[in-house]
Amino acid sequence: MTVATFEQHVQAALDSLPPAIAAKLVNVAVVVEDTNREEPDLYGLFSEEPYMPARVSIYRRPLEEDFGDDPDELEREIRVTVLHELAHYSASTRTGSTSSDTRERHGADVARGRRARGRSGRRRGVLLVAA
């Protein structure tokens, strides 16, 4: 899969968010990167630093390595990962917590069935950034 196609799948996940959820996403950057240097098996990571926009990183290579044999499954897992990481953003805004206590890492060793699943969409405050 090309990087552009992967990014289109991430954008599709953002575009499919229900309006009520999308309206609550403000000042969030969604970034597609090849891998996480510290933990190369991660699919995604939510982080939020003081005075900075929240950041959702989606890691292309581990997702493609684990699900690339089936394009439909890869697209679904990209969506699941985007939604899962945005759920961390939602939790942090409800609790007012910072990255030190909300940051959670997800990788190939996490059971797929335990991941957050649900409907996905887009908001003016969400920015897809190509790394």
Q: Domain residues for 52? A: 3-130
> What CATH number does the domain containing 17 carry?
3.30.2010.20
Helix (H, G, I), strand (E, B) or coil at 77: helix
Output the six-digit token pair for 107: 């990788």
**Rounded to two decimals, what is the model's pTM?**
0.73
Give the position of tokens 């990962």.
81
78-98 confidence digits (pLDDT tens): 999 999 998 887 766 655 554
Q: Considering only the C-alpha atoms of the chain, give the largest distance between any 2 of them, rounded to a whole number of Å.
A: 40
How many separate domains does the chain show?
1
Handedness of CA 87, 93, 99, 102 (dihedral sign): negative
32-55 confidence digits (pLDDT tens): 999 999 999 999 999 888 888 889
